[in-house]
Amino acid sequence: MKKFQQSPTDTDFVQSPYAFYDRARAAGDIFYWDDYDLPCAVSHRAVSALLKDRRLGREAPPEKAPNIPEHLRPFYAIENHSMLELEPPRHTRLRSLVMRAFTSRRIAALEPMIETLCHDLMDQFPDGPFDLLDLYARPLPVIVICHLLGVPASYADQLLAWSNDMVAIYQARRTKDIELAAAKAAQEFADFIRSFIDEKRLAPADDLISELIRAEEEGEKLSTDELITTVILLLNAGHEATVHTLGNGVYTLLQNGYPPITPATVEEVIRFDPPLHMFTRWVYEDVELFGHPFKRGDQIGCLLAAANRDPLAYEDPDQFKPDRSGPKNTSFGGGIHFCVGAPLARLELLIALRTLQQRFPNLRLDGQPQYADVFHFHGLEQLTVKKA
């Protein structure tokens, strides 16, 4: 396979990685990314197929299990129970329990609350320029997740701080200080959730944590550690991705005539500039994938955002088309690890974007926003706008 070099912290790449994806894709379905020492799938057909291929998975084979340094043990004590990092049978059990609580009925019932919250946040917008991320995109998802879990919204800022510190460990510019902050946040987050679960055992309510506790008590063998990790995963994954999809989406919409917000518009927002660009898989058996041999224990990166810009899958993929047709985008992953929060994310985005446009139809950018140096995530540092 052809090799390419591209620093994931290079300024031009951080601002727009899509030109690099195009160059790599021109060489085939899979290329070798020297900077990561990793083969990566870059076409829509390859990424979609590999996400569903059960010969690959998220859990490292035993012989490839990483040696966890002491300072990161609190972080990986959480990760070790995450259904995002597990394969069947543990993954099947955990996901089925979450899906039993994370029902379409429960999500649909959030719509009035989300719309009210949107208006409450917009009521606080100042008359002059302001950062839409700070005043709208960041608080909205974490408050919604708090409501869903049954955690008082007064804890939102603290949960957000822990979440940000934990998620930061996945970026390319990871440092020892970032690792220490992630481990500290993981320990404090776990201690908080553990005490909150204890309270919920004594006074259960109609919320997701109480539902998961009921599943545990009914003999589903969900351990308290698994319950803690699942709650943290739902908040971390549900918050970070939605914040940046919303921020990137408003930026894109304002650059493209601010078209009417429909479910199709939201789907195009999700395709066009998603917040997560790489998702890795372990290879579980010797296999040939798209003409290239792989051995058990190899890893391969699935470049989700590159797949979404594949011209063989989408006509004029670099253009934003609110009424676009085409195959399912890869932004939420695929296969057994398809994002459990996708229906909630879609609902939040639809309500947040539609309500924002209704309240402020003349919203416009104030200055040129910049993307943060956080690859393999892709989100704005800030999004300064004016109401009129």
- The reported pLDDT for the residue numbered 237 is 83
- The reported pLDDT for the residue numbered 172 is 86
207-264 pLDDT, tens digit each: 989 988 887 555 666 788 988 999 999 888 878 899 999 999 999 999 999 999 999 9
- The reported pLDDT for the residue numbered 388 is 78
Low-confidence ranges of the chain (pLDDT < 50): none
- The reported pLDDT for the residue numbered 332 is 96
**Rounded Cα gap, residues 173 and 165, in angstroms:** 14
- The reported pLDDT for the residue numbered 37 is 97
Counting the structural domains of the chain, the total is 1
- The reported pLDDT for the residue numbered 217 is 56
CATH number of domain containing 141: 1.10.630.10
Torsion of CA 217, 220, 225, 231, to 10 degrees: -90
- The reported pLDDT for the residue numbered 223 is 82
- The reported pLDDT for the residue numbered 55 is 98
- Residue 53 sits at the vertex; the CA angle it makes with 48 and 57, to the nearest 5 degrees, is 105
Beta strand pairing call for 299-303 and 38-41: parallel
Report yes or no: 305 and 283 within 8 Å, Cβ to Cβ: no
Domain that holds residue 87: 3-386
